[in-house]
Amino acid sequence: MRRSEVPPALIDPTTWPGVDVSALPEERRAVFEQRERAIYAYLRGDNLAAIERSFSVNRSSLTRLLTRCLAPHDD
């Protein structure tokens, strides 16, 4: 998903439902936090190449993660 496709009401990830990061095992927590920072950077408009370097998340993974973040949950 491209930034331009994100609905305006969802462009600010601080308004999204939260995640209890403390419930994750330590090694999964670090991965989650790194990916979360990458999503925040992407939605802020940071350069994709810089995001890839800084967070070790490639473009296709980043867009897949964003799509998953914005998908409505079954409940």
Q: pTM of the full predicted structure?
A: 0.88
- Predicted local confidence at residue 46, as pLDDT: 96
Task: Please tell me the total number of residues recorded for the chain in this structure.
Answer: 75
- Predicted local confidence at residue 73, as pLDDT: 80
- Predicted local confidence at residue 16, as pLDDT: 92
- Predicted local confidence at residue 2, as pLDDT: 86
- Predicted local confidence at residue 72, as pLDDT: 85
Nearest to 66 by CA among 3, 21, 19: 3
Q: Are residues 13 and 27 in contact, defined by beta-carbon separation less than 8 angstroms?
A: no
Please tell me the distance from the alpha carbon of residue 39 to that of residue 58, in angstroms, as a whole number. 11
Mean pLDDT of each 10-residue bin along the chain, 75 residues long:
90 92 94 96 95 95 94 81
Please tell me the distance from the alpha carbon of residue 35 to that of residue 13, in angstroms, as a whole number. 13
Q: Are residues 56 and 34 in contact, defined by beta-carbon separation less than 8 angstroms?
A: yes
Helices (H), ranges, the chain = 26-44, 48-55, 59-70
